[in-house]
């Protein structure tokens, strides 16, 4: 960034105006030259004063929803030149940016604003599992000492990261982005557009194999994070031998911050235990760093979250947050809906809602965690198939089924399961749709039972949970 830009930034915290941005990205501007608003790509999410970017989609074109966005109060629109020119006459009080490619324009606007706001650190999180949870916990830990902007939900694509950046306030100290991929080159494009200064690789595991081909393809895709020209530190899963070995050849100028159970981890997890307290199930971690030990207790009780908690502690400590303050901040972070949220259904059965998504690593972790919990009644599982595993699909579905022996009954939804097994057995049952599974559970669940719900996003297993009265686990209801 040039000296002239820097001196202008030091004079105040104003957001840049769209006229400046239009010149930078070679867009044509109609209407008032207003300050850059936060942008949405979904007209249903528009709030008064937002900007709307009309993106072409596989099924629908965002240009068809411009007027809906305007009716909801959008004050700026990024659209193709022809559409922007036509609509500008009907909406003289709205700012229109006409461009040839709206996605490239969105990325260009985000790049401009990121250079303008200049957060002290840009942290990028990637990996096969745990990205969103790590982002949430790390943001909470960093907020003890810094003003933090983190991408919402699982905004981990070029579009999602761009929108997250445009939601950032100009005085944010740290930006935390999640970077996902299902094809080679996607993370490389993200780090080229928004180069991180700090990175986290949570895990390398079979995921999106249809696009990435193999575990080696997954590894190569995640290591694209290292192409950032500004990356100075990488925290990673030291227990993953494949990842550990790959990083032995990393640039000597890159500082490594390994996290894990094994010796050699700079932040080492000495133990992780699930226990039942007066606020329900919790996870207790004992960690060691620099000759000191730390105890961290979390409402994120599933054991796979030990890594996310450790990454948050390690990276926030590196950024200057005292360990004790970070531990206090993240101890009561609650699981999000679909990501380990635990509650009691109307049958008196406990429900572990892991319905958001699944791949082999996360499915195994959830099954193992559910097996650890005390259960007075019967353990149940409602599992959707795992998508995008390519030729390894049968192998992984058979592998998962072997881990269900501690469950009294598992209801399996999806052709992926049928392809892996010739027949059902006493504790595995194929179901044709969510309604069938819901009917079985409604008729069968009893007080003291435990139900794990998990599967790929495509199966929409959250629909099976709708209508059940959710009561968050806050009292001593678990009996050991």
Interval 128-157 mean pLDDT: 92
Q: Pairing between strand 255-260 and 267-277? A: parallel
Contact assessment for residue 461 and residue 384, using Cβ atoms and an 8 Å cutoff: yes
Question: Which residues of the chain are in CATH 3.40.1390.10 domains?
Answer: 13-106
Question: Which residues of the chain are in CATH 3.90.190.20 domains?
Answer: 341-472
Interval 145-157 mean pLDDT: 88
Selection from 55-69, 197-211, 241-255 with the highest mean pLDDT: 55-69
Q: What is the pLDDT of residue 174?
A: 98
Q: What is the pLDDT of residue 129?
A: 87
Contact assessment for residue 205 and residue 128, using Cβ atoms and an 8 Å cutoff: yes
Residue 477: pLDDT over 50:
no
Instruction: Give me Rg for the CA atoms of the chain.
Output: 24
Q: How far apart are CA 412 and CA 71, in angstroms?
A: 44
Six-digit token string for 94: 């709205």
How is domain 118-330 classified at the CATH fold level? Answer: 3.40.1190
pLDDT-derived band at 473, boundaries 50, 70, 90: very low
Interval 377-405 mean pLDDT: 90
Average pLDDT, the chain: 89
Residue 480: pLDDT over 80:
no
Q: Which residues pair with 284 in a beta bridge?
A: 273, 297
Which residues are within 8 A (CB) of 475 and not within 5 positions of it... i.e. 6 or more apart?
278, 279, 280
pLDDT-derived band at 11, boundaries 50, 70, 90: very low
The whole model's pTM is what? Answer: 0.82
> How distant, in Å, are the alpha carbons of 17, 48, 52, 259, 355 from that of 96?
13, 16, 10, 47, 40
Interval 342-368 mean pLDDT: 87
Q: Pairing between strand 341-344 and 471-472? A: antiparallel
Q: How far apart are CA 96 and CA 73, in angstroms?
A: 14
Query: What is residue 125's three-state secondary structure?
Result: strand
Q: How far apart are CA 455 and CA 338, in angstroms?
A: 10
Q: Which residues pair with 354 in a beta bridge?
A: 454
Q: What is the 3-state secondary structure (H, E, C) of 271-289?
A: EEEEEEECCEEEEEEEEEE
Six-digit token string for 37: 């608003």
Residue 69: pLDDT over 80:
yes
DSSP secondary structure of 317-354: HHTT--HHHHHHHHTTPPPPTTTTEEEE-TTS-EEEEE
Q: What is the pLDDT of residue 479?
A: 34
Residue 7: pLDDT over 80:
no
Of the ranges 135-139, 195-199, 246-250, which one carries the lowest mean pLDDT score?
246-250
Query: What is residue 293's three-state secondary structure?
Result: strand
Interval 288-293 mean pLDDT: 97
DSSP-assigned letter for residue 61: B
Q: Which residues pair with 471 in a beta bridge?
A: 344
Strand order in the sheet with 255-260: 148-150, 174-178, 121-126, 198-201, 233-237, 255-260, 267-277, 280-289, 292-298
What is the CATH superfamily name and number for domain 13-106? Answer: MurE/MurF, N-terminal domain (3.40.1390.10)
Q: What is the pLDDT of residue 277?
A: 65
**Which phi and psi angles does 269 have, rounded to 5°?**
-85, 110
What is the per-residue pLDDT across 431-455, written as a single tens digit (0 to 9) for each? 999 999 999 999 999 999 999 999 9
pLDDT-derived band at 105, boundaries 50, 70, 90: very high
Q: Which residue has the tokens 């939900």?
A: 153
Question: Which residues of the chain are in CATH 3.40.1190.10 domains?
Answer: 118-330
Q: Which residues pair with 80 in a beta bridge?
A: 99
Q: What is the pLDDT of residue 9?
A: 38
Q: What is the pLDDT of residue 207?
A: 75
Q: What CATH number has the domain spanning 341-472?
A: 3.90.190.20
Six-digit token string for 468: 């059940």
Which residues are within 8 A (CB) of 226 and not within 5 positions of it... i.e. 6 or more apart?
199, 234, 250, 251, 254
């Amino acid at each position: 960034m040039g000296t002239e830009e820097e001196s202008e930034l030091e004079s105040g915290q104003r957001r840049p105006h769209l006229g400046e941005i239009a010149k930078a990205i070679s867009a044509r501007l109609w209407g008032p030259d207003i300050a850059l608003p936060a942008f949405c790509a979904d007209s249903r999410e528009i709030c008064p004063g937002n900007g709307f970017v009309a993106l072409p989609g596989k099924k629908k074109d965002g240009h068809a929803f411009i007027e809906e966005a305007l009716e909801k109060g959008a004050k700026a629109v990024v659209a193709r030149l022809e559409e922007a020119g036509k609509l500008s006459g009907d909406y003289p009080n709205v700012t229109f940016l006409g461009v040839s490619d709206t996605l490239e324009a969105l990325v260009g606007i985000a790049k401009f604003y990121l250079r303008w706001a200049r957060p002290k650190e840009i942290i990028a999180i990637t990996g096969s599992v745990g990205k969103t949870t790590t982002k949430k916990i790390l943001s909470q830990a960093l907020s003890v000492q810094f003003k933090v902007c983190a991408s919402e939900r699982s905004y981990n694509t070029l579009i999602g990261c761009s929108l997250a950046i445009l939601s950032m306030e100009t005085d944010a100290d740290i930006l935390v982005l999640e970077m996902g991929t299902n094809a080679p080159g996607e993370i490389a494009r993200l780090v080229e557009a928004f180069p991180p200064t700090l990175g986290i690789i949570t895990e390398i595991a079979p995921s999106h194999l249809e696009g990435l081909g193999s575990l080696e393809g997954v590894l190569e895709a995640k290591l694209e994070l290292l192409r950032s020209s500004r990356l100075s530190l990488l925290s990673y899963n030291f227990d993953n031998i494949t990842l550990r070995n790959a990083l032995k050849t990393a640039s000597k100028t890159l500082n490594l911050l390994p996290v894990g159970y094994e010796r050699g981890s700079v932040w080492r997890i000495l133990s992780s235990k699930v226990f039942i307290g007066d606020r329900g199930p919790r996870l207790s971690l004992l960690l060691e760093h620099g000759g000191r030990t730390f105890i961290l207790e979390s409402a994120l009780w599933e054991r796979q979250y030990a890594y996310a908690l450790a990454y948050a502690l390690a990276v926030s400590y590196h950024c200057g947050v005292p360990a004790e303050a970070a531990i206090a901040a993240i101890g009561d972070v609650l699981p999000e809906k679909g990501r380990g949220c635990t509650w009691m259904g109307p049958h008196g059965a406990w429900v572990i809602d892991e319905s958001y998504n699944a791949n082999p690593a996360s499915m195994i972790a959830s099954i193992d965690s559910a097996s650890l919990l005390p259960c007075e009644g019967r353990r149940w599982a409602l599992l959707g198939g795992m998508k995008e595993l390519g030729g390894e699909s049968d192998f992984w579905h058979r592998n998962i089924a072997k881990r269900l022996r501690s469950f009294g009954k598992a209801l399996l939804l999806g052709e992926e399961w049928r392809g892996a097994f010739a027949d059902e057995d006493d504790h595995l049952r194929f179901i044709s749709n969510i309604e069938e599974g819901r009917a079985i559970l409604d008729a069968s669940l009893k007080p003291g039972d435990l139900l794990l719900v998990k599967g790929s996003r495509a199966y929409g297993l959250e629909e099976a949970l709708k209508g059940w009265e959710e009561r968050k686990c806050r009292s001593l209801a678990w009996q050991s």
